[in-house]
Chains A and B, each alone.
Chain A
Amino acid sequence: MATTAEQWVLVEMVQALYEAPAYHLILEGILILWIVRLLFSKTYKLQERSDLTVKEKEELIEEWQPEPLVPPVPKDHPALNYNIVSGPPSHNIVVNGKECVNFASFNFLGLLDNPRVKAAALASLKKYGVGTCGPRGFYGTFDVHLDLEDRLAKFMKTEEAIIYSYGFATIASAIPAYSKRGDIVFADKAACFAIQKGLQASRSDIKLFKHNDMADLERLLKEQEIEDQKNPRKARVTRRFIVVEGLYMNTGTICPLPELVKLKYKYKARIFLEESLSFGVLGEHGRGVTEHYGISIDDIDLISANMENSLASIGGFCCGRSFVIDHQRLSGQGYCFSASLPPLLAAAAIEALNIMEENPGIFAVLKEKCKQIHKALQGISGLKVVGESFSPAFHLQLEDSTGSREQDVKLLQEIVDQCMNRNIALTQARYLEKEEKCLPPPSIRVVVTVEQTEEELERAASTIKEVTQAVLL
Chain B
Amino acid sequence: MANPGGGTVCNGNLHKSQKQSNGSRSGNCTKNGIVKEAQQNGKTHIYEKHIVESFEEAPLHVMVFTYMGYGIGTLFGYLRDFMRNWGIEKCNAAIEREEQKDFVPLYQDFENFYKRNLYIRIRDNWNRPICSAPGPWFDVVERVSDDYNWTFRFTGRIIKDVINMGSYNYLGLAARYDDSMRTVKDVLEAYGLGVASTMCEMGTLDKHKELEDLVAKFLNVEAAMVFGMGFATNSMNIPALVGKGCLILSDELNHTSLVLGARLSGATIRIFKHNNAQSLEKLLRDAVIYGQPRTRRAWKKILILVEGIYSMEGSIVHLPQIIALKKKYKAYLYVDEAHSIGALGPTGRGVTEFFGIDPGEVDVLMGTFTKSFGASGGYLAGRKDLVDYLRVHSHSAVYGTSMSPPIAEQIIRSMKFLMGLDGTTQGLQRVRQLAKNTRYFRQRLQKMGFIIYGNESSPVVPVLLYMPSKVAAFARHMLQKKIGVVVVGFPATPLAEARARFCISAAHTREMLDTVLEAIDEMGDLLHLKYSRHMKSARPELYDETSFELED
Name A residues whose Cβ lies closer than 8 Å to a Cβ of B.
52, 54, 57-58, 60-61, 64-73, 77, 79-80, 82-90, 93, 95, 102, 104-107, 111-114, 117-118, 121-122, 125-134, 136-143, 145-146, 165-169, 178, 192-194, 197, 200-201, 235-240, 265, 268-270, 298, 306, 308-309, 311-314, 321-324, 326-327, 329-330, 333-334, 336-339, 341-342, 344-345, 348, 425, 427-432, 435, 445
A sample of 20 cross-chain residue pairs with beta-carbon separation below 8 angstroms, ordered by A number, consists of A66-B299, A73-B392, A85-B206, A107-B196, A111-B194, A112-B193, A129-B175, A131-B174, A137-B127, A139-B138, A139-B486, A142-B131, A166-B229, A240-B104, A270-B100, A308-B196, A314-B403, A339-B368, A427-B197, A430-B198
Q: Are B1 and A58 in contact (CB under 8 A)?
A: yes
Q: Are B192 and A312 in contact (CB under 8 A)?
A: yes
Residues of chain A within 8 A (CB-CB) of B96 are 323
Among B41-49, B329-337, B528-536, the stretch that binds chain A is B329-337
Q: Please tell me which one of the listed residues B132, B369, B486 contacts residue A128 in the complex, with CB atoms under 8 A apart.
A: B132
Chain B, range 113-127, C-beta contacts under 8 Å to A: 115, 119, 126-127
Number of residues in B with C-beta < 8 Å to the partner?
Answer: 123
Q: Are A133 and B134 in contact (CB under 8 A)?
A: yes
Q: Are B97 and A333 in contact (CB under 8 A)?
A: no
Distance between B356 CB and nearest chain A CB, rounded to angstroms: 24
Distance between B440 CB and nearest chain A CB, rounded to angstroms: 21
Residues of chain A within 8 A (CB-CB) of B176 are 126-129
| B386 on interface, CB distance cutoff 8 Å | yes
Q: Please tell me which one of the listed residues A77, A112, A131, A165 contacts residue B373 in the complex, with CB atoms under 8 A apart.
A: A131
Q: Please tell me which one of the listed residues A54, A72, A102, A431 contacts residue B1 in the complex, with CB atoms under 8 A apart.
A: A54
Distance between B82 CB and nearest chain A CB, rounded to angstroms: 22
Q: Are B193 and A201 in contact (CB under 8 A)?
A: no
Task: Given A114-B192, A312-B192, output 15 extra A-B contacts at Cβ < 8 Å.
Answer: A66-B330, A85-B202, A88-B192, A105-B197, A125-B181, A129-B174, A130-B374, A130-B410, A131-B370, A132-B167, A133-B169, A139-B486, A166-B401, A429-B201, A432-B393
Q: Are A125 and B228 in contact (CB under 8 A)?
A: no
Contact with A along B80-96 (1 / 0, CB 8 A): 00000000000000111
Residues of chain B within 8 A (CB-CB) of A105 are 195-197, 202-203
Q: What are the 9 A-B residue pairs with the smallest beta carbon separation, nearest first?
A: A166-B229, A70-B389, A338-B231, A312-B194, A133-B167, A339-B370, A104-B202, A105-B196, A131-B374
**Complex Cα spacing A113 to B191, Å:** 7
**Complex Cα spacing A54 to B285, Å:** 11
Q: Please tell me which one of the listed residues A73, A83, A429 contacts residue B204 in the complex, with CB atoms under 8 A apart.
A: A83
In the complex, the number of residue pairs spanning A and B with C-beta atoms less than 8 Å apart equals 362
| B512 on interface, CB distance cutoff 8 Å | no
Q: Are A131 and B192 in contact (CB under 8 A)?
A: no
Contact with A along B1-21 (1 / 0, CB 8 A): 100000000000000000000
| B222 on interface, CB distance cutoff 8 Å | no
Residues of chain A within 8 A (CB-CB) of B107 are 327
Q: Please tell me which one of the listed residues A54, A57, A68, A112 contacts residue B196 in the complex, with CB atoms under 8 A apart.
A: A112
Q: Are A127 and B230 in contact (CB under 8 A)?
A: no
Residues of chain B within 8 A (CB-CB) of A138 are 126, 166-167, 486
Q: Which residue of A lies closest to B389 (CB)?
A: A70
Q: Which residue of B lies closest to A309 (CB)?
A: B196
**Complex Cα spacing A178 to B331, Å:** 36
Residues of chain A within 8 A (CB-CB) of B329 are 61
**Complex Cα spacing A89 to B505, Å:** 36
**Complex Cα spacing A456 to B82, Å:** 67
**Complex Cα spacing A118 to B462, Å:** 40
Q: Are B205 and A130 in contact (CB under 8 A)?
A: no
Distance between A118 CB and nearest chain B CB, rounded to angstroms: 6
Q: Are B193 and A348 in contact (CB under 8 A)?
A: yes
Q: Which residue of A lies closest to B300 (CB)?
A: A67
**Complex Cα spacing A43 to B183, Å:** 85
| B209 on interface, CB distance cutoff 8 Å | yes
Distance between A378 CB and nearest chain B CB, rounded to angstroms: 24
Q: Are B193 and A339 in contact (CB under 8 A)?
A: no
Asked if A128 meets B133 with Cβ closer than 8 Å, knowing A105-B197, A138-B167, the reply is yes
Q: Are A134 and B167 in contact (CB under 8 A)?
A: yes
Residues of chain A within 8 A (CB-CB) of B486 are 134, 138-139
Residues of chain A within 8 A (CB-CB) of B184 are 125, 130
**Complex Cα spacing A35 to B107, Å:** 73
| B522 on interface, CB distance cutoff 8 Å | no
Distance between B384 CB and nearest chain A CB, rounded to angstroms: 10
**Complex Cα spacing A269 to B406, Å:** 43
Q: Are B375 and A131 in contact (CB under 8 A)?
A: yes
Q: Which residue of A lies closest to B330 (CB)?
A: A66
**Complex Cα spacing A330 to B114, Å:** 11
Q: Are B371 and A133 in contact (CB under 8 A)?
A: yes
Among B28-36, B59-67, B256-264, B449-457, the stretch that binds chain A is B256-264
Residues of chain A within 8 A (CB-CB) of B389 are 70-73
| B289 on interface, CB distance cutoff 8 Å | yes
Residues of chain B within 8 A (CB-CB) of A87 are 190-191, 205-206
Q: Are B229 and A338 in contact (CB under 8 A)?
A: yes
